Structure 1
């Protein structure tokens, strides 16, 4: 019995993971759009939480993801609170999936989808197969657990032990809820404990009221995942995790006060016939109790959410009062990346993409500052320090992006398309960091000349300013192509790249002619040629970005 129960639970959990991974891969773009649509509008945020959790098939993944977004500053506390409430409703979809009486088809569904997964060459087919394979494993695992629970009735000691947990009194309800909470905390999956509860109830080992009380406790137990994820994070992230605990604890508190009226209400909705026993394989079972348990789970979370929705603003204020923040602004990292988001690779790759785009914005800003510094009569130490600081920041940002993407690629369950996108982002981040280095070097050339008591000539400054403008326009076009994911960006910017190269060659010839026609300080000559080379390298790195976006290799 223990072997079958353990094996069934393991297959059930693995099935839930495959369902989640498959749906995330299939619905990747939709998932990104949904998270991007989260606003302070409480109903919209809650709706997004419901839909995302239905897609990823796990409230734990959604809540950990929300903690990660709030921790990194991508999502506000009020937005996170709304999504958390929606996640509690979305997780009840598992119960309704189990209502489908397809347990006996779980194994053939698993087998057929496994063949498609192994032999299909198209990623989309493979991810649909992964989802269906997970669905088959969920049903097959549930069938194994049901068979294991059926043997409990044949062992008097086991049956007597389960009989001690009976929700026939308020204390009994609390005891059952506590068991559900502890079991979910240990397994780290409310879906798994829901499967166990359904298996016990359908075999008649526990009554429907006991199963309902266990389900209430499972809602509290699932909060441990987000709570653990919030340890060591910012104050805002801890607040959203604490809200998850308060939301479920308060919900269980008020529903247990009216527990017997509540289960009577559910029974009236489901119908009394659902609780009539049926003889299957010579054993008395209660298959109709499954929709009742699913309804108990759903109605509880919907009612609790409706209760909390009008109280969202006061609740946010209470959390801000109860969990005071430090006097300084918390920013654990330079980027908005957080390892907690790695749970959902498609959202993680979107977050890293935003950080890469910010690097490009930083490079363009540095090019504007460079012209100001070069044309100022007196050295502008404040602006020069800002430019140097921006270059150092971009170095650190590249390191954080590389660390984040490496963690993403080592996760193991990343799709081929996501892995390719991750590798492209690594290269583009490296190219932007190199561009920032050359821009900082251009300022160093000018500062070194000023320290030596010389400067570029008026003609050279005018030439470099024009070259800077052309190069910035080119970098801007490439950056816009990256932002819009324009696969034609290489062809569209090819003429601009050639113009820059031609202009650099022309300025180099002009400079050599000036050297032969009159005297010039050697340091000025060296600095000017180095500046031309730096602009040429900026152009090369921008072209590398265009090549990466276009997914082409060219000989430049």
Structure 2
């Protein structure tokens, strides 16, 4: 065997594959950053309507350029309870269709322009100032790397013809009978499992097919096997998750296994169908540098992949409710509530920063709702002659929960910011960490208000009726202020200060007036000093609550 030719083959194949994979990642990261909030809204639109869920799966996978990322994301959402199993099943089916876009990108006859595209986009990426331009450049840079990597792999595969022993080994994989189809599908499955990327395996398959090392039917069988191999990523991600998340991963495996099983039974007729649709020229040779190449097989391989996944989805879509019932029966739930932490955050979502930042934002919104409830409970307890112990315990418990939620959000966002994210996502992450801290501080001061009242009662005192009335009104005005801020947070309204500033000033003036009133009561000497001190401490706590609410408003408005 020619050692020099073998070395050239290995070096070029490994190098080309590396460039191809890096290009896919850059293309994915760039498209996700450019898609921005649209992608976030799209995931939020998933309902139990299976067709809508499938459509979302298709679009998201086309954007992120990886069915593995989408399915792992689904496992994470189902694991955290954000997405129901039926919704997850629909998105996974759509992801299988969306992943076929890679093949059609490679159909574009711009292989020889891969290197110039890469170079021009690299300059745009390095020297542009705007985030949007940089990420558009990153997308084009990724596309250039994909095509350049594919050209390098094609050149490497052409070397195989100079190695007769090596070429003979490839000819052992031939989809000319049912056993041969199964053998090729198994090879595609194993290779995809090893490299953890169906796109990489597709690139290798296309390189081999276009150089004539393997026939089109063999390449088609390899692609079918890749559909099974790609399920390993979601399966591994489901280990140690909730029952519903494991059900989603098991569905992904079963869906692809069953699909490959039935298509192999009709494989010769399926290949004839593709050739009938695209025409007989897909197996025509084109001479390049004195060697026969088969460039038309690229579109045939892409069509084979797409039509199979669409047909498989159409076959399954009517049975989604039945599939969910079977999964629930086959994978029974546990007799206790499965939730390892308080939030719906899941590290599996971190691979998609836009989805991750949206999930942490939802947790901030939950914290804001928790603070509103605590304010309502606090004023109820203040006015009760005999405080409801259950309600008091609930208030204390909610304060501890918000402490833990803030820790989980901060930890999650810190992990997110440690990866390569856009400036916009990084800025939003920092804002979220600040807001989580502000809401947690609000909960602390609300809890301290109840502590002042309880301590007075234990010592045999109570706030006077007038003091309780004044504190109740102040609580009501703060709740109104907090409600405006929380609504702005949900709507992402950056003009929040225009509406909230007057409320903030009114509360500030109200607290000042109550302090003056308290000094007058102190001078009269009719109220016990302990009550006056507790009342003043309560006013200070309300001042701090108002300050922290204002900090949230300024963060939303992005003034600091």
Question: Is the TM-score greater than 0.5?
Answer: yes
Shift of 1:523: 1.8
Task: Tell me what 2:89 maps to.
Answer: 81
- Listed as ranges, the gaps of 5+ residues in structure 2 are 1-8
State the match for 2:178 in structure 1.
Answer: 170
The match for 2:539 among 532, 544, 556 is 532
2:239 counterpart residue number: 231
Q: Is residue 38 of structure 2 the alignment partner of residue 30 of structure 1?
A: yes
Deviations 1:497-552 (A, max 9, x none): 11211111111111111111123322212111100000000000011111111122
RMSD of aligned Cα (Å)? 0.9
Q: Deviations over 1:437-493 (max 9, x none)?
A: 000000000111111111111111111111111111112222222222222222322
Match of 2:558 among 533, 538, 551: 551
In structure 2, the residue matched to 1:266 is 274
In the comparison of the two structures, how many residue pairs are matched?
A: 552
Render the CA deviation track for 1:310-330: whole Å, top value 9, x for unaligned. Answer: 111111111001100011222
**Partners of 1:450 and 1:546 in 2: CA distance:** 35
Counterparts of 1:357 and 1:298, CA distance in 2: 40
How far the C-alpha of 1:332 sits from its partner, in A, is: 2.3
1:435 aligned onto 2:435: no
Partner of 2:128: 120
Q: Which runs of 5+ in 1 are unaligned?
A: none
Match of 1:139 among 134, 137, 147: 147
Between 1:475-484 and 1:31-40, the stretch displaced more is: 475-484
Residue 161 (structure 1) aligned with residue 172 (structure 2): no
- 1:14, CA displacement in angstroms? 0.3
Cross-structure match for 1:341 = 349
Equivalent in 447, 457, 464 of residue 464 of structure 2:
457
> Structure 2 matches for 1:395-414, cutoff 5 A?
395-412=403-420, 414=421
Distance in 1 (alpha carbons) for counterparts of 2:532 and 2:106: 78
TM-score, normalization: structure 2? 0.97
Q: Within 5 A, what are the aligned runs for 1:55-454? A: 55-412=63-420, 414-454=421-461
The C-alpha deviation readout for 1:23-75, integer Å capped at 9, x for no partner, is 00111222112111111111111111111111111101110111111111111
Matches of 1:45 and 1:483, distance apart in 2: 24
Determine the C-alpha separation between the residues in 1 that align with 2:107 and 2:559. 50
Q: Does 1:45 align with 2:53?
A: yes
Q: Does 1:521 align with 2:521?
A: no
Question: Does the residue aligned with 2:213 lie in a helix, a strand or coil?
Answer: coil
SS in 1 for 2:292: strand
Superposed CA offset, 1:263-282 (max 9, x none): 11111111111211110111
Q: 1:334 offset after TM fit, Å?
A: 1.0
- Measure, in 1, the Cα distance between the counterparts of 2:549 and 2:330: 49
* CA deviation string 1:63-118 (max 9, x = no partner): 01111111111110000000000000010011111111110000000000000000
Aligned residue number for residue 3 of structure 2: none
Which has the larger displacement, 506-515 or 62-71? 506-515
Distance in 2 (CA, whole Å) between partners of 1:55 and 1:552 is 32
Compare 399-408 and 510-519 and name the one that shifted more.
510-519
Aligned-residue offset at 1:364: 0.8
The 3-state SS of whatever aligns with 1:519 is: coil
> How far, CA to CA, are the matches of 1:99 and 1:449 in structure 2?
77
Summarize deviations over 1:191-219 as a string: whole Å, max 9, x none.
Answer: 11001000000100011111111011000
> What SS is found at the alignment partner of 2:319?
helix
- Cα distance in 2, alignment partners of residues 51 and 479 from structure 1: 31
Q: Which moved more, 1:110-119 or 1:40-49?
A: 40-49
Q: Is structure 2 residue 465 aligned with structure 1 residue 476?
A: no
Q: Give the Cα–Cα distance (whole angstroms) in 2 for the partners of residues 502 and 88 of structure 1.
A: 60
